[in-house]
Amino acid sequence: MKKLLIVANLKCYKTEIEAKEWLENLKTELETVDLTGEKEVIVCPPFTLLSLFKTFFVENNLNIKLGGQNVSQFGEGAFTGEVNAKQLKEFADFVLIGHSERRTNFNETNEILLQKTKLSIDNSLTPIFCIQDSTTNIPEGVTILAYEPVFAIGSGNPDTPENANDVAKELLERKTGANILYGGSVSSQNVNSFTSKDNVSGVLVGGASLEAKEFVQIVKNA
């Protein structure tokens, strides 16, 4: 059986108090879920909450990995406001790169994404590289891709599982052995229609991850 990756992207949501409540709810809901098996859960909170999440997962013995939502295209230096890959690696094992919200709102070009990917890999962070269609540029060394069509993000209008599977197949032809995730309006209701497809090895969940109960239901149903 294939291993499934279930990734939560909390985007620019949650204060510390809200995050503590989310974590407590997550813990309660996870009591009946076996995370040692074929499902790997990765949570990508905002930078400000990484330390809190890391401590909580360790103290509560929760087998959940952490990811950053972004990383600097530069290493350490005089880059005010940036968080570099070495700093992120102190908390996380994964990092989202190339999300369409960053490409659009922060003008991240292929060249910038290439630098971010390279620095991440050099610092032992695994990029979860987001692409919008099967023609998107993919940097060397990427092993996890998330196919996220722009129309499906935050719209409640997911791609069809058949199309997601076809795109994943095309991507696998370009990147043999990669894990291809689907993202865009994934919910507990539709997750299995994606994860049951041959070429899809997980999901990237935005809005539906903001409620811990719904996110755990997605993990259960995947």
Which residue's Cβ has the minimum distance to ligand PGA?
Answer: 206
Footprint (CB under 6 A) of ligand PGA, residues 146-205? 148, 153-154, 183-186, 204-205
Is 59 noted as a catalytic residue in this protein? no
Is residue 98 a contact residue for ligand PGA (CB under 6 A)? no
Chain positions 5 to 24 lying near ligand PGA, rule: CB under 6 A, are: 9
Task: Assess whether 101 carries a catalytic annotation.
Answer: no
Distance separating alpha carbons of residues 140 and 119, to the nearest angstrom: 12
With respect to ligand PGA, which residue has the nearer C-beta, 86 or 120? 120
Which of the following is catalytic: 29, 101, 108, 148?
A: 148
- Asked if residue 44 lies in contact with residue 7, where contact means CB atoms within 8 angstroms, the answer is yes
Distance, in Å, from the CA atom of 69 to the CA atom of 168, rounded to the nearest integer, reads 22
Q: For residues 58 and 67, give the distance between their C-alpha atoms in angstroms, rounded to a whole number.
A: 15
> Is position 207 an interface residue for ligand PGA (rule: CB under 6 A)?
yes
- 172 Cβ neighbours under 8 A, 6+ residues apart: 178, 180, 199
Binding site for ligand PGA (CB under 6 A): 9, 148, 153-154, 183-186, 204-208
Catalytic residue numbers read: 99, 148
